[in-house]
Structure 1
């Protein structure tokens, strides 16, 4: 479990990206870390205050300290807030011992004072969060704050931490209001500062040694994080827990560029504190002239001409919500405006009611107004205007050519596929270059010359921690006729000697080609069919229909009608037998795929489909057909392979249900679209066959607890299906849960574990299977680097099976890091497994080896997966649900998705 689960800053849960699917959990395309995103909702842009502007007037008003805010209540806790399972032993022992580097830097804590003072601050009138630090700098320059005699750390919101008391607060009964009027402004800014509590720093030292937990441990870690980040957050562009600079920015096209950044946070280890430092990357809107920015978004547009509707929509999508400045008022005019709309016509054809000197009104164009009022002659009068909210519910327009955008504004919208691909390429970095980048980040952060760290007694090493690790032995993969394969570096080859363990009979199938026959000839499709049939037959399948019917359909045609036509054609050729499989050949990625899946999988009589790209069909080979064959066998209910006997001992002993669960959310701006919960269960004893259930549930917005609200009903359904297939109820349940941040652990533990128990009780009050509940985390910044080349794979990453369960893991709770997959590109991301609840009494070795072994039984490739397949399938199923047509239906309660009864107990989602 992550080291500071209970001792976190309020913003620590803001990393969110699914590394395998390359899809944000909330579709927030802001800051990648290779395959990672940091969401924008804690945006803290660079400090734009002008230190040369003095405070003109200052008022200090004493006050009586109110009760501390509820969130800051200092109530000691006897047990950790998460209530997670304690580590059952001293850690695992199996596997080859080794030592690796990790991006954790040891932190020594030698405070000059035994306590830290926590204060709550309110700023009135309320300002956007981006301005908080700017105003804080104004307050800090006043003698009342400077008389403290030490540096004070501010989190940019409502918390202030100081190693010493703030005299102005304590001299006024624990609360003081300081009013400052900024030079050149009429409005006063009032800062109300209240003392919350004294934090005993010794509590953290005691916890590291003994595991004795108090609330002061949480508060100390929060204070240290605020002190750690105060200086870089004040001087650099901040998104989530990363700070960014424009140095080396890379163009992503469409007005967006990628900036390199640095992620850093205090983490709790075993008897040791660390600072986790990593490289990151973020998407930002380009700065500069508005006209140039608009041209980069719509390259075909000539600023001398009007915008067409398509270009207007594209520009408005990117720029809406961003802040811009104007040039016609001179350099001294610093006001910023928030763009809310783009005018339909140019400045020469956008009119408004202008009040004349005699009190009347007349219609004038924006072009005429700016020429008359500011002597600003427009070079591009047909270019559109930026609209901002005006007085009395009106819209004020600014000609685009008089506007410019400051750099450093995070791009909060969803990146398109090309931008995602470009960003992943730019952000991807092999282990050795990544180490060098992290070392450069340490130099940039300059811990040794950070006075805030010294004030709080922190000293941070500039050398990565050497961490003990083990490399687990991979299981052997078993095919039919006793053929066994030993994975090497997380992968194994497929060849003609490997027959399916449980083949199926294929007697009714066909193809529909959504491509022009002139581009993909019938001869090439028939050649693909022959090659596929040969591969399937060699692997043990009984392909009765050797020459399936092939039909061509136009991409613009009605998909429903074309598929129904293909169904009738196949049924007729097969002699009236129901269709088993329809292979749809598509002209490109994403084209028609959602509509095909939606129609085939939600219609009353479902159709199993397998999509293939025309480019793959045209250049077909045995390797592609073998991979396609694995998916086809899985979809039709067969089994490709299994692990050698005794590799899944816990499962092989029978009566075990392995479950993977995930919740995904709608993309930005899709507030009317619900979240999707998916639950997938293993329903055999060899780790291969899975079935899944999905439901829609209300989208509660960014930061919502991801509780699966209808979990009892889903679990009852899965357990009933398991009994139908296996002929008995499971007596053990191993539940892997993805998509949960550490701050949500208590809620998930309280609700979802209880939901599983409720489901079992509703089946039979006497039915009480032993439950183990494990959270799987990929959205973290822990990275492993091999120190010995013998412990690395071909990509330079740590070898598949590398496990760490000491030093950088939680001091007392049951967690471990496992890098189960082989590296492909960049630096691999290990998975973190956190055991929240365990009635099956796993040892570290048993759970680690079982989890690693499970990663080798996946129906889509001959590689070990980065997370257990049940969770990987839950990802696939959740995102498949996005294809369904009625996904946008509003609902106030959990509601099952409309999967065809013919498909719901199959692996249609692979």
Structure 2
């Protein structure tokens, strides 16, 4: 039976670099009662009529009431409840099976149907009069607590030695649940392990009716230095509380409610919670009425007699008349607008929209616009010292030492930042044109008075413009002048081709097709390169169809720009991208050509960068895009090419690395890249394969080690059964909450800072690296996990290699925060995901042989790159 691979242990610590003392946002935790046990009980909540409780948020209220009512019967034990189906106690409850009846008053207005507002005409129901008179609702619940497991707290001590098992993970999970419960009792919004208080000081308006809400991440971590609590600043998006109409006006950027798109409004409002002004009750929005308030009718039982106790007549009345005439509630603008349904889809309860206000702390999970995203980043930045003081404040405010459950566990949390030992690695020496070497300073360099190391010649090119917002003649002159200074021979363009004005309002694909018709007419042959001027940056709908046409259909290298301000720096940055895309190299590491990279320069070595790009939040039907880039022309580690495939939405494991049977045109990503390495590296097969994998969590490490690595090994065997390369597999994580600070400096840590002790894993091989210069905000280090190292790098050599790979990114003149192969894989995946609108792809999936991925629905295939550009750095 084949044994599953597991992450390797740490072989040793690095020693290279200038020692530097640092602080980190980990706070030391001590646990006294290690001989105790957590008892896990499964929680079953039902209504009186045996219906299961499904609404979120009710569970905590029910369990709190259970604790108040039956505390004595339950041995006065404190609970740690996850809000759903698991409850933990320290020591056992008196009985193995515990059944209770719990009564809550006014439990959940979102389940209430009576609002004083009319039901739909198909709802017979009780009279409106009775519903108004009832001040609150009483609900009875049945609660069952059934013993599930016993978790020794000693397992935390085992985890601190690096030997994690199911019990140790569960014990740490219980501690994290205690923190969540602590935050829930303070009225926080809980998002996984982050907590957000309802404090306007923490809100920042990012436009469109959306607020960035600052909160805190808290989680227990095991490390070489013992157990610690990692606390960091966290941000989520919430809808702006206040009148629903104002939110919709802001969200759609219109002047008044009569201009609103109600189809969009219905989508964005669904499931949000509101407070109604006339009843001061809270409800969940189910939908909007089809008819406006002054046309929406229902059957109303009207009581006769002065005291309202006489016979009743049923009359048909509009919602508008009911509120204004019978309830005497003035409505100033709702008459012609839809009403909000807070009942059920088939048994609605309608409320005029102006009586409804959104309650606070409601997450907004839809994709942000480019403007909102940049606004959020800009407004949530914090300098290192500011972040430290905010975290210190958070620790005081949370007052974890007062939590009864943590007290019972004997858990105490230090209030001081943990001290760690860092090392600052020397930057690698770079080679530029004319054989000149130079040393970057603080992670940065420039090409002032320098030439590119391998400039290309651009003789056949043209400019196409979908927008004439800049002086094109001046831009061309600046490009040619700057290119000559950098060593690029750039001739005058054949032509400047402007979009036909009649096409400007047409669909993007038609506009691109029309532009190519013009290109064919005006150019003498296929151009080497096209410079494309787009009407807007980042979100132009021309970008995807244009890239697809150039790269997949015609095999033409293209650079898209949307200049707002053209200066020397801008022009140089554009030229760096063009040179790399056309096969040139801007700068490379001195050690590449002097063959001085340990274990890489003297043995044919391929470096892979792997990433999967998913659709935006809420887009569950858009395929994910898997990209792998590979180094070529060994011993270079600065040149790469990419191979990209589509796969099932939100599926993280790459499933097209190797395809032994099936499509003859596609035998998998790895085979394609290995053949390219072989042909570009003097017909040498790589004996070493170094893999950098982005975007996976710790729970997926074993899958990467077994599923993905097995596919890569199979691809190697398929090419040659007698070929056994050595593998080094490294995960890079940016999405974590560890930060580092200089104790006596307001500045960020220096570029090249590496930390592999004290707060790293007690057993596994990991380290943190801040390779870039954090110019704004607080530097986020990359957390590297070495899962496998058959090549047997020393700790110093591997850290030096990772550091060096942050300096070979051809698009910029700064060290980047993660190794270049991963950045390139991310760029390649992003660019090909823009190639097509996926609803168009779905139509062609059957004719193009859409493949099934991970046992799910067929996934439409991406168009393959034209052979003229397939081995280029088109993604640069």
The normalised TM-score by structure 1 is 0.83
CA distance 1:654–1:580, change in 2 (3 Å): farther
Query: How much does 1:370 deviate?
Result: 3.2
Query: How much does 1:742 deviate?
Result: 1.4
Contact 2:630 2:673 in 1 (8 A): yes
Which residue of structure 2 lines up, in the alignment, with residue 226 of structure 1?
177
Residue 118 of structure 1 pairs with residue 40 of structure 2: yes
1:182 is aligned, of 89, 104, 107, to 104
Query: How much does 1:782 deviate?
Result: 0.4
Residue 137 of structure 1 pairs with residue 53 of structure 2: no
Which residue of structure 2 lines up, in the alignment, with residue 257 of structure 1?
211
2:233 is aligned, of 274, 279, 289, to 279
Query: How much does 1:644 deviate?
Result: 0.8
Contact 1:598 1:885 in 2 (8 A): no
1:584 is aligned, of 527, 532, 537, to 532
Q: Distance in 1 between matches of 2:677 and 2:360?
A: 55
Contact 2:610 2:825 in 1 (8 A): yes
CA distance 1:386–1:905, change in 2 (3 Å): farther
Which residue of structure 2 lines up, in the alignment, with residue 722 of structure 1?
677
Cα RMSD (Å): 2.6
Q: Distance in 2 between matches of 1:647 and 1:628?
A: 31
Q: Distance in 1 between matches of 2:386 and 2:344?
A: 54
Q: Distance in 2 between matches of 1:208 and 1:117?
A: 21
Query: How much does 1:216 deviate?
Result: 2.3
CA distance 1:775–1:408, change in 2 (3 Å): same
Q: Distance in 2 between matches of 1:463 and 1:285?
A: 35
Which of 865-874 and 364-373 deviates more?
364-373
Q: Distance in 2 between matches of 1:187 and 1:751?
A: 50
Residue 907 of structure 1 pairs with residue 873 of structure 2: yes
Query: How much does 1:156 deviate?
Result: 1.6
CA distance 1:687–1:145, change in 2 (3 Å): farther
Query: How much does 1:569 deviate?
Result: 5.6
Contact 1:601 1:899 in 2 (8 A): no
Which residue of structure 2 lines up, in the alignment, with residue 414 of structure 1?
367
Q: Distance in 2 between matches of 1:107 and 1:391?
A: 48
- Give the number of equivalent residue pairs: 793
Which residue of structure 1 lines up, in the alignment, with residue 459 of structure 2?
507
Q: Distance in 1 between matches of 2:253 and 2:861?
A: 44
Contact 2:34 2:153 in 1 (8 A): no
1:106-157: CA deviations, max 9, x gaps? 0011117522222221222222233222222121112246642332211222
2:803 is aligned, of 837, 849, 852, to 852
Matches within 5 A, 1:15-34: none
Query: How much does 1:360 deviate?
Result: 9.9
1:738 is aligned, of 680, 683, 694, to 694
1:653 is aligned, of 602, 611, 627, to 602
Structure with more relative contact order (C-alpha pairs < 8 Å, separation 6 or more): 1
Q: Secondary structure at the match of 2:708?
A: helix
Which residue of structure 2 lines up, in the alignment, with residue 45 of structure 1?
none
Residue 149 of structure 1 pairs with residue 76 of structure 2: yes
Contact 2:494 2:523 in 1 (8 A): no
Which residue of structure 2 lines up, in the alignment, with residue 898 of structure 1?
863
1:821-871: CA deviations, max 9, x gaps? 111210010000111222212221111110000110111110111111111
Contact 2:726 2:790 in 1 (8 A): yes
Which residue of structure 2 lines up, in the alignment, with residue 25 of structure 1?
none
Contact 2:288 2:340 in 1 (8 A): yes
Contact 1:150 1:455 in 2 (8 A): no
Q: Secondary structure at the match of 1:409?
A: coil
Which of 386-395 and 148-157 deviates more?
386-395
Contact 2:252 2:260 in 1 (8 A): no
Query: How much does 1:687 deviate?
Result: 2.0
Q: Distance in 2 between matches of 1:256 and 1:432?
A: 28
Q: Distance in 1 between matches of 2:355 and 2:265?
A: 17
Query: How much does 1:438 deviate?
Result: 0.8
Q: Distance in 1 between matches of 2:598 and 2:204?
A: 50
Q: Secondary structure at the match of 1:734?
A: strand
Q: Distance in 1 between matches of 2:265 and 2:642?
A: 40
Q: Distance in 2 between matches of 1:256 and 1:444?
A: 26
Contact 2:340 2:352 in 1 (8 A): no
Which of 95-104 and 548-557 deviates more?
548-557
Contact 1:387 1:395 in 2 (8 A): no
Which residue of structure 2 lines up, in the alignment, with residue 36 of structure 1?
none
Residue 541 of structure 1 pairs with residue 488 of structure 2: yes
Contact 2:533 2:561 in 1 (8 A): yes
Query: How much does 1:429 deviate?
Result: 0.6
Which residue of structure 1 lines up, in the alignment, with residue 14 of structure 2?
92
Q: Distance in 1 between matches of 2:336 and 2:768?
A: 55
Query: How much does 1:423 deviate?
Result: 1.4
Query: How much does 1:720 deviate?
Result: 1.4
Which residue of structure 2 lines up, in the alignment, with residue 779 of structure 1?
735
1:642 is aligned, of 567, 576, 588, to 588
Q: Secondary structure at the match of 1:434?
A: helix
Query: How much does 1:207 deviate?
Result: 4.0
Q: Distance in 2 between matches of 1:178 and 1:223?
A: 24
Which residue of structure 2 lines up, in the alignment, with residue 166 of structure 1?
93
Which residue of structure 1 lines up, in the alignment, with residue 723 of structure 2?
767
CA distance 1:483–1:112, change in 2 (3 Å): closer
Which residue of structure 1 lines up, in the alignment, with residue 384 of structure 2?
431
1:403 is aligned, of 321, 334, 356, to 356
Contact 1:286 1:407 in 2 (8 A): yes
Q: Distance in 1 between matches of 2:299 and 2:630?
A: 65
Contact 1:113 1:163 in 2 (8 A): no
Which residue of structure 2 lines up, in the alignment, with residue 492 of structure 1?
445
Q: Distance in 2 between matches of 1:400 and 1:101?
A: 52
Query: How much does 1:380 deviate?
Result: 2.0
CA distance 1:484–1:109, change in 2 (3 Å): same
Query: How much does 1:627 deviate?
Result: 1.5
User: Structure 1, unaligned stretches of length 5 or more?
Assistant: 1-78
Which residue of structure 1 lines up, in the alignment, with residue 271 of structure 2?
321
Residue 748 of structure 1 pairs with residue 704 of structure 2: yes
Q: Secondary structure at the match of 1:809?
A: coil
Residue 631 of structure 1 pairs with residue 594 of structure 2: no
The normalised TM-score by structure 2 is 0.86
1:640-696: CA deviations, max 9, x gaps? 111012563343224211111111222233232111111111113222211111111
Matches within 5 A, 1:654-669: 654-669=603-618
Which residue of structure 1 lines up, in the alignment, with residue 817 of structure 2?
866
Contact 1:857 1:869 in 2 (8 A): yes
Q: Distance in 2 between matches of 1:177 and 1:907?
A: 65
User: Structure 2, unaligned stretches of length 5 or more?
Assistant: 47-51, 106-135, 304-310, 659-667, 843-849, 854-858
Query: How much does 1:621 deviate?
Result: 3.0
Which residue of structure 1 lines up, in the alignment, with residue 754 of structure 2?
803
CA distance 1:828–1:280, change in 2 (3 Å): same
Which residue of structure 2 lines up, in the alignment, with residue 567 of structure 1?
519
1:44-72: CA deviations, max 9, x gaps? xxxxxxxxxxxxxxxxxxxxxxxxxxxxx
Q: Distance in 1 between matches of 2:80 and 2:396?
A: 21
Q: Distance in 2 between matches of 1:475 and 1:392?
A: 64
Which of 113-122 and 852-861 deviates more?
113-122
Matches within 5 A, 1:6-45: none
Q: Distance in 2 between matches of 1:852 and 1:237?
A: 39
Residue 692 of structure 1 pairs with residue 642 of structure 2: yes
Q: Distance in 1 between matches of 2:454 and 2:25?
A: 45
CA distance 1:298–1:640, change in 2 (3 Å): closer
Q: Distance in 2 between matches of 1:96 and 1:614?
A: 42
Which residue of structure 1 lines up, in the alignment, with residue 665 of structure 2?
none
Q: Distance in 1 between matches of 2:771 and 2:64?
A: 47
Q: Distance in 2 between matches of 1:264 and 1:308?
A: 44
Contact 2:155 2:168 in 1 (8 A): yes
Q: Distance in 1 between matches of 2:578 and 2:36?
A: 65
CA distance 1:596–1:859, change in 2 (3 Å): farther
CA distance 1:860–1:352, change in 2 (3 Å): farther
